[in-house]
Amino acid sequence: MAALPPGRIAYVNARLLDPASGLDAAGALLTDGETIVEFGPGLFAAGVPSDVEVVDCAGACLAPGLVDMRVQLREPGEEHKESLRSAGEAAVAGGVTSMVCLPNTHPVIDDVATVEFVARRARQIGLAKVYPYAAATKQLEGKELSEIGLLAEAGALAFTDGTKALRNAQTMRRALSYAATFGVMIVQHPEEPALAEGGVMNEGEMASRLGLAGIPPAAEAMMLERDMRLVELTGGRYHAAHLCTADGIDIIRRAKARGLPVSCDTAPPYFALNELAVGEYRTFAKLSPPLRSEDDRRAVVQGLRDGTIDAIASDHAPQDQDSKRLPFAQAAFGGVGLETLLPVSLELYHNGHLSLLEIIGLLTAAPARLLNLAAGQLKAGAPADLMVFDADQPHRIAPDNFRSKSKNSPFDGRPVQGRVLLTVIDGRLVYQAK
């Protein structure tokens, strides 16, 4: 028998944060069943009615649940690395209530049945809500376009070849044109494949010293320069994922200034780490795209500050131990990120680069707006997808405690501030910190 929906719950003594409306004030919020009823500074000034359950936030922040727009779930096909359930548990522990998954599963998400499977399976589990991207090309082969219209109708939010760049210019042109007729977005992994081939870290002095093949920063810039011409040609909506170079960010900045329909995101490793994290062949710091120079890292921070970068995503890419505990050149790319997304992003607040409201906006309202999702804001009548967090609580990142099946975090052992205390989805408490 299905669980009964929760009754009326009052979250009191909270610092309400709603980036969509600019609200940052002490107050309370009331939910009834699955939805938000009302919220604000003056709510319950005369006391909470006796028939309402009370959750005392004790001065902690109450915000919309995070919307993570770039997650690799590994189910179907590689459940030993991550499953929809383990990713859901990791997500809610990180305050993520909605996540958008890449199509690079086995089978690939390139038909209606697989789109529907992912959505149905996530609903059955009842943790974080999962929305799929569909493959831009069949089998992610970069040749024949997927049925974009049918897949969008079935629930695909946007179209991407995941961790592969759409390398063929004609294919990208057709994808942008076709997607534009359905009002959906093409998401690109902006890396020129021929330049990146064989590379395992950022090209430069450190790669030379370690004797490792490098991926030049120009690989990002060259793909973006080409794609901006195609956006101009087609008018299609284009989103660049995980930007990591100063030149790449500048290309998007100039394209936006020209009024092109482009957007982009980055991930915490690219503003919190640089290539030095590779250290002595540390495979947990082998990411795609690779960690770049300190100048590039600072450019990512500046891109977030000036609004060039629209959103922050976890870029969650779980790998098992067998894939990572190999010589650096042979190890798989990727790092887990669902449970470190909030605390590492909060470094931008603690270091004075952005306000707390701005950070939460990059993690909630902004990705929801890009993907036309009804999420990421406090609003009467909206689903009660919430997180309560302490922005200042210090701790050290300990992957052994992750709920994710995989533990390959580039932030292993990093001291951070900020911890999720409660996560609520559709009014139900799905996570509470111990």
User: Average pLDDT in the 314-342 region?
Assistant: 97
Q: What is the pLDDT of residue 3?
A: 52
Q: What is the pTM of this model?
A: 0.97
Hey, what are 50's tokens?
Answer: 């006796």
End-to-end CA distance of the chain: 29
User: Average pLDDT in the 310-318 region?
Assistant: 98
> Does the pLDDT of residue 1 top 50, yes or no?
no
Q: What is the pLDDT of residue 136?
A: 98
Cβ contacts of 33 within 8 Å, gap of 6 or more: 5, 6, 7, 384, 427
> Does the pLDDT of residue 203 top 80, yes or no?
yes
| Interval 213-252: pLDDT, tens | 999 999 999 999 999 999 999 999 999 999 999 999 999 9
**Is 315 noted as a catalytic residue in this protein?**
yes
d(CA 370, CA 385): 18
Structural domains of the chain, ranges and CATH numbers in brackets: 8-62+385-432 (2.30.40.10), 65-370 (3.20.20.140)
- Strand, coil or helix: what is 376? coil
Cα–Cα distances in Å, from 287 out to 76, 198, 296?
Answer: 22, 14, 15
Residue type (1 letter), 238: Y
Lowest mean pLDDT, pick from 117-121, 326-330, 375-379: 117-121
| Interval 334-382: pLDDT, tens | 999 999 999 999 999 999 999 999 999 999 999 999 999 999 999 999 9
What mean pLDDT value characterizes the chain?
A: 97
Question: With contact defined as beta carbons under 8 Å apart, do 95 and 128 qualify?
Answer: no
Hey, what are 147's tokens?
Answer: 């049925």
Q: What is the pLDDT of residue 2?
A: 44
List beta partners, residue 134: 159
Q: Which of 7, 6, 11, 5 is nearest to 48 (CA)?
A: 11
Q: What is the pLDDT of residue 329?
A: 97
Q: What is the pLDDT of residue 119?
A: 87
Among 18, 227, 296, 315, the active-site one is 315
Q: What is the pLDDT of residue 375?
A: 97
Q: What is the pLDDT of residue 4?
A: 57
User: Average pLDDT in the 34-57 region?
Assistant: 95
Provide the CB-side half-sphere exposure for 30 (13 A, CA).
16
> Does the pLDDT of residue 176 top 60, yes or no?
yes
Q: What is the pLDDT of residue 5?
A: 65
Confidence of residue 170 (pLDDT cuts 50, 70, 90): very high
> Does the pLDDT of residue 398 top 70, yes or no?
yes
